[in-house]
Chain A
Amino acid sequence: MSDTPQDVIIGLEVHIQLANLKTKLFCSCSSDYRSAEPNTHVCPICLGLPGSLPVINKKSIEFATRLALALNCKINPKFWFFRKNYFYVDLPKGYQISQYNKAGGKAFADGGKVTIKINSSKKEILLNRIHLEEDPARLVHKGSIRTSPYTLVDYNRSGITLIETVTEPVLSSPAEAREFLNQLKLIVQYTGISDLSLEGTLRVDANISIKGHPRAEVKNITSFKEVESALIYEITRQKHEIKKGKEIMQETRHWDGRVTIPLRTKEFEKDYRYFPEQDLVPIVIKKEFIDEIKDYLPEMPNERVLRLQKQYMLSEFDAENLILDKYIADFYENGVNKDPTFGPDEYKLYCNWLMNNIVGWLNENNKKIDETKLKPSHIIDLISNIKKGNITTKIAKTLIGDMMKGNSISKMIKDKGKKRISEETIIEEYSREVIDENPRIIEDCRKNPKAIEALIGRVMGKTKGQADPKITRKIMIILLRNMRIID
């Protein structure tokens, strides 16, 4: 992309399901609908049956307060819900109970910011507001929405709590948008209000414009990766149109995974006729309530970075990497605090093992750390075996897979005795090291081929006797021949 940062203007509306709430926003139906049969988590309220009335889930206010505090928003002391009126098959009441910050209405909280790091410099992304609303039902199609012979409606999702975070139009590239979303995801994870790795917990609407031109809104993008792709596509499209001298339409577009396509303006440019929801009373949020939430609010990622650097003498880079997943950072702290003899070197070693080897393995195997049998003590054991010379780093690396299955290094050493290394690439690596480290012996080899035994001995030493001597001899001969040291 050749966008200069100044000419692209992006604003995001991020809808997040509060998946960690047990019940829906206005009724006591379970929120945990993902593995349920369709239309089994429903009641008169979330089906919008005549005569039913909503009752606010107090926990949702607590969760929203957590997020508002984590994002540094200003929480409004009193707010109303509003009705957003439109007809659609996914909306059983014909209106969505939401919030509105005009016509006397107030958002849950105003302002706030998220700090992102882009090209190693920091940028503050200002937020406009966050608010609560109910999720509509889920529509199910056979194949694509266009060709499906039917639409099925699953009201299990109807009434699930959504929190919408609206940024100011201050993002200037798809990469910034991606980084913002990563940070937001992290903050959501740290506040414990949702699990964004669950399918369907995230929906993003993006407003995109080129400076001096009208904006287009791309609706309902369902993953971070897709947001970046949709933005890249849409910016290119708009620039292209402008280049051709065409006017950009202010319109709503749909991202189909490949391109953005306009939605019919007649159908989608709606007057939502927002007005106060009289079935709910105004909600008052007291300062004491906020203070209490604040006291129990977990440490946020940016605070943790600073503390990790201070407490464990880690570099900013290491600390920032560690906190990228709350569960990894928790694992780290659990581990290093288990062994009182640990000092700066061990802190660093533990971090390296965790971030380079364990996380690498998790990514390759597409698993989360709590889905494996790895315990924080496994890495302590690993480090101590290396320190005692029971095992080499290189060999330990080959045992990560076994360790993830819950086997400790100590146990593996004990079970298998001295494990024989017969993998040629590893022996070759050690052999090269020995050759590099022993120029004198190499010289001896030119005169006396028997000196090769000394080199083999060094390899055996380095591998604590685990290298297969036959293979080592074979490899050493090949290497020395290649170097034209021996014939």
Chain B
Amino acid sequence: MEIYNYMGYELIEKIRSKEITIQEVIQQTYERIEETEELLHSFVYLSKERALKRAKNLDAQLKNGKTTGKVLGLPIGVKDLICIKDSPTTCGSKILEEYRPPYNATVIDYLIEREGAISVGRTNMDEFAMGSSTENSSYGPTYNPWDLERVPGGSSGGSSSCVASGQTPISLGSDTGGSIRCPAAYCGIVGIKPTYGRVSRYGLVSYANSLDQIGPLGRCVYDVALILEIIAGYDPLDSTTVDIGVDEYTKELNRSIEKKTLGIPKEFFGEGLQKDVKEKVKKSINKLEGLGANVVDLSFPHLEYTIPTYYLIAMSEASSNLERYDGLRYGKMSDDLKGDVYEVFSRTRGERFGSEVRRRIILGTYTLSAGYYDMFYIKALKVRTLIKKDFQNAFEQCDAIVCPTMPTTAFKIGELVDDPLQMYLMDVLTCPVNLAGLPGLSIPCDYDNKGLPIGFQIIGNYFDEKTILNIGYQLEQELNIYRKIPPLTIRGN
């Protein structure tokens, strides 16, 4: 069997039992990437030489019994906005072309330096994580492995297509309004957005820093639980991480979900939901009931304000977070240096940011400006508090909330490019989770009538990743579709 059929934990086991060397794993990983990359464009940069060199070192260490990494030799894709020392980190943007950070993100220190994973390359993304389709990458779109005419979702589209297609068993993404869960749903894989403050953001290039979280994507819940165990925890370099213990998620997966109460918010099944998405998600809820879970109906009166609230906050923060890109210290400056420093800054930013990034910077700058601040930003913060309260009320009645991840399955490339508002509305079921700061898991539950995967979302209480991973794992085992490899073809429907 080709190695791309294996789950991450299976591969780790084979390496540990010396059934296969790390160098063989990495070699075969690149073979799979080289076979499929032309169809998918999951990566913006491949670090083959560096990865093979590291594999050789780790093999030697393994031989001498000197290493004990939990994910030793595991190949991973890393979203192009998580800093790896001396490796290109461009956020899918021309403004950071050729930028190589001089330091590692905390998650990279944990996963790669401490536990022995190997980065094979930087995965494609919407520029600065702004988008739901990966069409906004300055380096061209990524294609959905289930239908190459369709988007893989976004913004972590490269991280999901590389896992779904078996290029790597695991990848790291980031989620600000659904950027892990959306592409996981569209590509039929598992992705988790942890509680805000659960995983260090140190070294994650900010889009909207009060919403961003790093999380893993994988083909099964176990893999995702395993990676989260490693990257979660308090980090003195990130003041927003919380100093509470990390559960051993992988050890909690087999627990029974009998007597667990699942909340079903009626607003999450409202208008705009694709018919078969609704049906198949309901079917999965029935399966969970079959496993002994209870269900309770919930109401989220403020859900309708989610999209404006989310975009006001995200764009406001983004307008400030992206001010540092002026080309002066790193990244690329405009070739035309005429005029004073303000003119050169403006020209550089005008030329090198893509249109969606420019749109969000302009809107965010506007909403933070004197005279509009109270009307937009402050008001959005107030609604955010109300949405948080809706969730807090909900968790008084249930252990987790279940709903679709996305209102539809993957749409065609180009279909929504000229309609940003329609594109923004795609985030309606994912971004309330970010606004509340809660953890959210997406797992594949079925396929629509076109054969495209449907994502099932499980939302948990603060720092209760354990419960949603447990429920997700139980459903996954019940459904047993997670080993399916996508066809990498055009379906033409």
Physical interaction between A and B = yes
Q: Which of these, B209, B326, B342, contacts A278 with CB under 8 Å? A: B209
Contacts of B373 in A (CB 8 A): 103, 273, 275
In the complex, residue of chain A having the shortest beta-carbon distance to the beta carbon of B209: A278
**A449 nearest CB across to chain B (Å):** 88
| Interface residue A95 (Cβ < 8 Å from any Cβ of B) | yes
Q: What 0/1 readout, one digit per residue, does chain B (169-191) give for beta carbons within 8 Å of chain A?
A: 00000000000000000000000
Residue ranges of B at the interface with A (Cβ–Cβ < 8 Å): 81-83, 89, 91, 96, 99, 101-103, 105, 201-206, 209-210, 236-240, 316-317, 319-320, 322-326, 328-330, 341-342, 345, 365, 368-370, 373-374, 377-378
Across the interface, name the chain B residue whose C-beta is closest to A44.
Answer: B103
CA distance A52 to B202 in the complex (A): 6
Report B-chain residues with C-beta under 8 Å of the C-beta of A53.
201-202, 237-239
Closest CB in chain A relative to B97 CB, distance in Å: 13
B105 engages A56 (CB within 8 Å): no
Interface residue tally for chain A (C-beta within 8 Å): 30
Q: How far is the CA of A219 from the CA of B316 in the complex (A)?
A: 29
Q: Is the CB of B101 within 8 A of A44?
A: yes
Q: Is the CB of A85 within 8 A of B330?
A: no
Contacts of A48 in B (CB 8 A): 324, 329
Which listed residue (A49, A55, A104, A281) contacts B103, Cβ 8 A?
A49
Q: Which residues of A contact B326 (CB under 8 A)?
A: 87, 94
Chain A 27-51 near chain B by CB (<8 Å), digits 1 or 0 = 0000000000000000010011111
Contact A273 B342 (CB under 8 A): no
> How distant is the Cα of A281 from the Cα of B322 in the complex, in angstroms?
21
Provide 19 A-B residue pairs closer than 8 Å at the C-beta atoms, listed in order of the A residue.
Answer: A44-B103, A50-B89, A50-B99, A50-B101, A50-B206, A51-B202, A51-B205, A53-B201, A54-B239, A55-B239, A87-B345, A88-B341, A89-B328, A94-B325, A103-B373, A273-B319, A273-B373, A278-B240, A279-B209
B239, A281: Cβ atoms closer than 8 Å? yes
B320 touches A51 (CB 8 A): no
Asked if A275 contacts B239 (CB within 8 A), the reply is no
Taking a contact as CB atoms under 8 Å apart, the answer to whether A83 and B239 are in contact is no
Nearest neighbor of A267 in chain B, beta-carbon distance: B342
Most chain A CB within a 10 A radius of its CB, from B239, B325, B374: B239
* A54–B374 alpha-carbon span in the complex (Å): 26
Chain B's closest residue to A45 (CB) is B237
A324 on the B face (CB < 8 A) = no
Q: Are A55 and B378 also in contact (CB < 8 A) when A85-B323, A273-B369, A279-B209 are?
A: no
Q: Is the CB of B202 within 8 A of A275?
A: no
The 8 Å CB contact of A103, one of B209, B325, B378, is B378
Q: Assuming A89-B341, A92-B324, is B102 touching A44 (CB within 8 A)?
A: yes
Expressed in whole angstroms, the minimum distance between the Cβ of B11 and any Cβ of chain A is 29
* Smallest CB separation, A156 vs chain B (Å): 14
By a CB distance below 8 angstroms, the chain A residues around B370 are: 271, 273
Is there a chain B Cβ closer than 8 Å to A239's Cβ? no
Residue numbers in A under 8 Å from B324 (CB-CB): 48, 50, 92-94
Give the 3 A-B residue pairs with the shortest CB-CB distance, closest first. Answer: A94-B323, A278-B210, A273-B368
A280 within 8 A of B: yes
B108 to chain A, nearest CB (A): 10
A49 / chain B contacts, CB cutoff of 8 Å? 101-103, 330
Q: How far is the CB of A254 from chain B (nearest CB, A)?
A: 17
Residue numbers in B under 8 Å from A275 (CB-CB): 316, 320, 368, 373, 377
- By CB atoms of chain B within 10 A, which of A47, A87, A95, A273 has the most? A273
Within A278-294, the residues touching B (CB, 8 Å) are 278-281
B342 in complex: contacting residue of A50, A55, A87, A279, CB < 8 Å: A87
CA of A89 to CA of B333, assembled, Å: 14
Interface pair A51/B368, CB less than 8 Å apart: no
Most chain-B CB neighbours within 10 Å: which of A51, A52, A88, A281? A51
Residues in A with CB closer than 8 Å to B89 are 50-51
Residues from chain A with a CB closer than 8 A to the CB of B81 are 50-51
Residue from A55, A89, A94 having most chain B Cβ neighbours under 10 A: A94
